[in-house]
Amino acid sequence: MRDGRYLVPVLMAALLAACGVAVPPEKSAYVGEWKAEGMSLLITRDGSIDYRRLRKGASTSINAPLKAFHGDDFDVGIGPMTTTFRVSSPPRQIDGVWKMTVDGVELTRVDRR
């Protein structure tokens, strides 16, 4: 590491980690891998968010820390760059299957937590 080329990525990773918040205990049902056709959303306990969506031939992806919950909705981003995920139906169990509706899409939790 004499030339410092690894210093910038290490510092960026540390800064990104410091920007987020963990998922609060009362929102622990949100944690997991959620999927629907054309959309996936991974929420980890530490507040890392990985979102991917394909719609009408265009793809959107976000890989950023959780900033805050506002009721059922949650904000993701870094600094002033924030995306709000609108949750019209929070995580709920239906016949043993976890469902959640985010931005108008009903997602199913696919992991075994």
What sign for the dihedral angle of Cα 97, 45, 34, 90? positive
Residues present in the chain in total? 113
Mean pLDDT value across the chain: 89
Residue that has been written with the tokens 């997602």 in this structure: 107
Q: Report residue 3's pLDDT band, with 50, 70 and 90 as the boundaries.
A: low
pLDDT in tens, 17-44: 556 899 999 999 999 999 999 999 999 9
Rg of the chain (C-alpha set): 16
State the pLDDT at residue 6: 63
Q: Is the pLDDT confidence value at 93 over 80?
A: yes
Domains and CATH numbers, the chain: 20-109 (2.40.128)
Rounded to 10 degrees, what is the CA torsion of 82, 83, 89, 91? -70
Amino acid sitting at position 40 = S
Q: Check pLDDT > 90 for residue 64.
A: yes
| pLDDT at position 101 over 70 | yes
Judged against a pLDDT cut of 80, whether residue 113 lies above it is answered with no
Q: 37 in helix, strand or coil?
A: coil
